[in-house]
Structure 1
């Protein structure tokens, strides 16, 4: 299995298990310009998340129309879950951006369209570790392996904190491959920092990330901080070998106690940063 790595915007177009050096997660972002995407009725389950624009998926003669936000900072996302053994064709408005996550699945479930009406305006953390999350495909979702989460972090705040890892399958931790796909509210100037580290493996990565970059995390503690004045979005996709669907993570024991103070601290007043629906 390869080490955690960050791929810069323009250097990647699709993450596959072969590229990532792992077994489960595939990820890509398609920008539409009149084309039609076709998915075979294969052994992969898929999650379609419009980052911008409106998307139409046709499955077994039924049309699913979803999306509509102008950017990931305009409103909560939609997600169409497509189970294995299910063919689909997808079209979209010109310029629409569609994130596509997939993983091999052993069981077939039902097609599910998740809309903002199904999602709470959820916040996590406290103080300058406050962030907003939207769990499009949580552990309780009727899927086989896929887990999908949107996260918004106000400029200057920490996210995925305390640092945690999904590396081993045992009580309190699940083995999961994970991608972080980043977007910035100010794409020309915005940036954030991603750290991934493993004392167990003698590994350290600390790197600037910008709009359109992606981080591949097969293991390691990880955390992210948005630069002052630069609101950050990332789309998490996770899947792994565990039989139980769970997001359990092991926190860095040297930092986990910092979360104990959160009940006595205020949430960042900028949160929720993103409304449920796009504003008129």
Structure 2
């Protein structure tokens, strides 16, 4: 059995300085993906030096301004992760950004190590974020595609949000992306950061390995928890009945083509074929008309 504490980071256990969560490639024991969660009080600001990483500034709640490379981006934000998609900002390698919030809020800072720095700082309006409904029946979920191939250009970074109604299963069937197989699978480290609706809300996250690369995690997660996935099959992410589930996915890897190619566990991939005869959960999309653009 894998030591679950290696990969399941309960809220507060990886806090550092101004960050509620600080995951770096060094702390995770891998090479590329990172995530910070920053809380700002009213009128507070934080300076971020990107160094050898590219970042997004992605509001979880509240609004902020991002001043970088002579530009200032106004991020309209949102009330909470279940209310709507959000504006975001892209920060390139070797830049300095000042993140400030007049009313305060919480902000995700996903990152990826990159040797390239060819892209400028940019603003991503919420109106341009593709919202996708995946699966059907009790495997229905919503995916907000912020920074994926074909939706927003980056060097190595991939970022999306998944929202799952209470009682449903996400990241299912289990899948993996831990080896480079052109046209079939890409090598990506992944971070899951969770928020759950309701004071006592909880969910479960499963990660298990192959014969050659074992890993064995079954974690009960609550708001603010994080699960690291260095390799192996991951899924399901199970939302307990009565508690809607949100998680932020951050991915990066060594491949220079920035592909997101997954391989289903062959023992469970057949489940996809059952969705054709089922309807999408009517509780989706979250956020009403705004999320359902």
Higher RCO (C-alpha under 8 Å, 6+ residues apart): 1
Determine if contact 1:179/1:216 at 8 Å carries over to the other structure.
yes
Work out whether residues 198 and 220 of structure 1, in 8 Å CA contact, stay in contact via their aligned partners in 2.
yes
Equivalent-residue separation in structure 2 for 1:42 and 1:276 (angstroms): 39
Deviation at 1:276, TM superposition (A): 6.0
The C-alpha deviation readout for 1:52-91, integer Å capped at 9, x for no partner, is 1111011233210103311111111222111113221111
Query: Alignment partner for residue 106 of structure 1, among 106, 115, 136?
Result: 115
Counterpart pick for 1:8 among 7, 10, 14: 10
Match in the other structure for 1:135: 145
* 2:224 match: 212
TM superposition shift of 1:262: 1.3
- What are the superposed Cα offsets for residues 170-193 of structure 1, whole Å, 9 maximum, x if unpaired? 13111101100000111x210001
- Do residues 122 (structure 1) and 135 (structure 2) align? no
| Aligned counterparts of 1:153 and 1:25: Cα–Cα separation in 2 | 24
Q: Is 2:214–2:232's contact at 8 Å kept on the other side of the alignment? A: no
Shift of 1:35: 3.2
Equivalent pair of 2:85/2:126 in contact (CA under 8 Å): yes
Q: Deviations over 1:254-275 (max 9, x none)?
A: 0001101212211111111234
Runs of 4+ in structure 1 deviating by more than 6 angstroms, as ranges, are: none
Aligned residue in 2 for 1:154: 165
The secondary structure found in structure 2 opposite 1:98 is strand
RMSD, aligned α-carbons: 1.8
Q: Distance in 2 between matches of 1:142 and 1:202?
A: 33
The 2-side partners of 1:235 and 1:88 are apart by 22
Matches of 1:265 and 1:116 in 2, distance apart? 30
**Structure 1, unaligned stretches of length 5 or more?**
none
Output the TM-score relative to the length of structure 1. 0.93
Indicate conservation of the 8 Å contact 1:116/1:277, yes or no.
Answer: no
Equivalent of residue 65 in structure 2, options 56, 59, 64: 56
Structure 2 residue aligned with 1:83: 92
Give the aligned partner of residue 231 of structure 1.
244
Retained in 2: the 8 A contact 1:76–1:275?
no
Q: 2:105 aligns with which of 96, 104, 107?
A: 96
Q: What is the count of residue pairs matched by the alignment?
A: 276
The residue number in structure 2 matching 1:39 is 48
C-alpha distance in structure 2 between counterparts of 1:96 and 1:156, whole Å: 29
CA separation in 1, counterparts of 2:254 and 2:87?
26
